[in-house]
Amino acid sequence: MIRKLLSTVVVGILASASTQAADTELNLYTARHYQTDEALYANFTKATGIQINRIEGKEDALLERIKNEGANSPADVFITVDASRLAKADELGVFVPVKSTVLDERIPANLKSDTWYAFSTRARVIVYNKVDVDPKLVQNYEDLARPELKGKVCTRSGSHPYNLSLGAALIQHDGAEATEKWAKGVVDNFARTPKGGDTDQIRAVAAGECGVAIANSYYVARLINSDKPADQEVMKAVGVIWPNQGTWGTHVNVSGGGMLKHAPNKEAARKFLEYLASDEAQAYFANGNNEWPVVPSVQVTNAALDSLGDFRMDDLNVGTLSQTTAEAQKIFDRAGYR
Ligand code: FE
């Protein structure tokens, strides 16, 4: 995987973090809520003495709340998933740049913007029914518009950030015109009107209701790891493809976050973001949701993901996806991809 080829940077973090800390607490607004994140927060508090007050919620609702609270917001750090959501937060002006050599050095250039940082990556993969669809037909995202797949394609809503970010990447690689043609082709190939989440699409492919679908890698890994017999049957019936290995690489998205403009505890916020980039936190943060760390020197062994093999990821800067997300939405609207 390209990720492994990036240069290794090892930086000591938190070495002198605890003593001069002026801030004693951190207010974290997060759209992530995994068991493993609990240990993460506890370790941060142990290392820095900074208490974390956590507000959990849905991505869009949290952002709305930060916007509405304005200058009075107690929030110091906002963590969410999807590059287009992070970009939306950026556009709303809620973030402020962080001065940190730790973050500058540890987070690769293609996984950050001027104001936010990615802390884990996930890939958007193609899932196909082994009986119904020849995998040779679905090696690329572009293939989902092939006429041979008429009545076979399923995806969640075209308005969902995961698909909009994919559309944004397609525009940058293939151009707007080709992407619009593609979107129309995909809609023409629908087995059903988009509904449900990524896992629902995978289940529908296994059930034969759909021949092929797209889904984030961690949903696939979750089903592989599941001990429910029904989930194991699902994974027996489907094959998984890393798309576009012969062209521009598999589209990756991120979860990430940044410091908020009106953060009352900016020092604590910086320390927390730097902590998320530490070896320990990177492993926890990524593996907790079957994702990959962003810091190249941090290797995580995840049996489910490893069983799918290595892949080359798109090296497009995730921060630039936002430049074409609005265009992707317009194209999808015109194509009837709702
Ligand atoms: Fe998700």
Q: Give pLDDT tens digits for 232-275.
A: 999 999 999 999 999 999 999 999 999 999 999 999 999 999 99
How many angstroms is it from 59 CA to the middle of ligand 1? 11
CA–CA dist 172, 316 (Å, integer): 9
How many angstroms is it from 82 CA to the middle of ligand 1? 9
How many angstroms is it from 330 CA to the middle of ligand 1? 23
* Domain segments of the chain as ranges: 8-121+254-301, 122-250+310-335
How many angstroms is it from 14 CA to the middle of ligand 1? 31
Nearest CA to 281 out of 104, 131, 64, 120 is that of: 120
- Whole-structure pTM value: 0.89
pLDDT of residue 151 exceeding 90: yes
How many angstroms is it from 111 CA to the middle of ligand 1? 18
> pLDDT band for position 4 (50/70/90)?
very low
Query: 199-203, 257-261, 299-303 — which is least confidently predicted?
Result: 299-303
> pLDDT band for position 11 (50/70/90)?
very low
How many angstroms is it from 216 CA to the middle of ligand 1? 7
pLDDT of residue 68 exceeding 90: yes
* pLDDT tens-digit readout, 100-113: 999 999 999 999 99
* pLDDT tens-digit readout, 304-333: 999 999 999 999 999 899 899 999 999 999
Confidence (pLDDT) at 20: 47
Query: 31-35, 37-41, 124-128 — which is least confidently predicted?
Result: 31-35
The token pair at 136 is 């040779």
Q: 3-class SS at 88?
A: helix
How many angstroms is it from 47 CA to the middle of ligand 1? 30
CA dist list (Å): 172 to 177, 270, 317, 326 = 11, 32, 11, 13
Q: How many residues does the chain have?
A: 338
Residue type, 155: T
How many angstroms is it from 150 CA to the middle of ligand 1? 27
> Which of these CATH numbers, 3.40.190.10, 3.40.50.2300, 1.10.3470.10, 3.40.50.720, describes 122-250+310-335?
3.40.190.10
Confidence (pLDDT) at 13: 41
How many angstroms is it from 15 CA to the middle of ligand 1? 34
How many angstroms is it from 300 CA to the middle of ligand 1? 20
Mean pLDDT confidence for 189-210: 98
Angle at CA 338, nearest 5°, toward 92 and 64? Answer: 25
Say if strands 25-30 and 77-81 run parallel, antiparallel, or are unpaired: parallel
Q: 3-class SS at 79?
A: strand
Confidence (pLDDT) at 2: 45
pLDDT of residue 1 exceeding 90: no
| Owner of token pair 């907790």 | 288
How many angstroms is it from 264 CA to the middle of ligand 1? 30
Q: Is the Cβ–Cβ distance between 81 and 289 less than 8 Å?
A: no
Instruction: Give the list of residues 6+ apart from residue 70 with CB closer than 8 angstroms, or none.
Output: 262
Confidence (pLDDT) at 221: 97
CA dist list (Å): 327 to 102, 140, 148, 323 = 34, 21, 28, 8
* pLDDT tens-digit readout, 169-184: 999 999 999 999 999 9
How many angstroms is it from 239 CA to the middle of ligand 1? 20
How many angstroms is it from 219 CA to the middle of ligand 1? 7
Q: How many other C-beta atoms are found inside a 10 Å radius of the C-beta of residue 34?
A: 14
Indicate if 122-250+310-335 has the same CATH topology as 8-121+254-301: yes
Confidence (pLDDT) at 15: 37
Higher pLDDT residue, 251 or 19? 251
What's the burial of 93, exposed, middle or buried (CB within 10 Å: 0-12/13-18/19+)? exposed
How many angstroms is it from 101 CA to the middle of ligand 1? 30
CA–CA dist 74, 83 (Å, integer): 24
The token pair at 160 is 């969902």
Mean pLDDT confidence for 49-66: 94
| Owner of token pair 């593996």 | 287
CA–CA dist 166, 126 (Å, integer): 12
How many angstroms is it from 251 CA to the middle of ligand 1? 15
The token pair at 302 is 């995840």
Nearest CA to 124 out of 219, 293, 291, 252 is that of: 252
Mean pLDDT confidence for 104-129: 96
Nearest CA to 165 out of 214, 132, 200, 117 is that of: 214
> Which of these CATH numbers, 3.40.47.10, 1.10.3720.10, 3.40.30.10, 3.40.190.10, describes 8-121+254-301?
3.40.190.10
How many angstroms is it from 198 CA to the middle of ligand 1? 8
> pLDDT band for position 152 (50/70/90)?
very high
CA–CA dist 152, 119 (Å, integer): 35
CA–CA dist 313, 316 (Å, integer): 9
Please state, for a pLDDT cut of 90, what percent of the chain lies above it: 85
Angle at CA 332, nearest 5°, toward 331 and 334? Answer: 65
Confidence (pLDDT) at 34: 77
Residues paired with 124 in a beta bridge? 216
Q: What is the mean pLDDT of the chain?
A: 92
pLDDT of residue 229 exceeding 90: yes
How many angstroms is it from 255 CA to the middle of ligand 1? 10
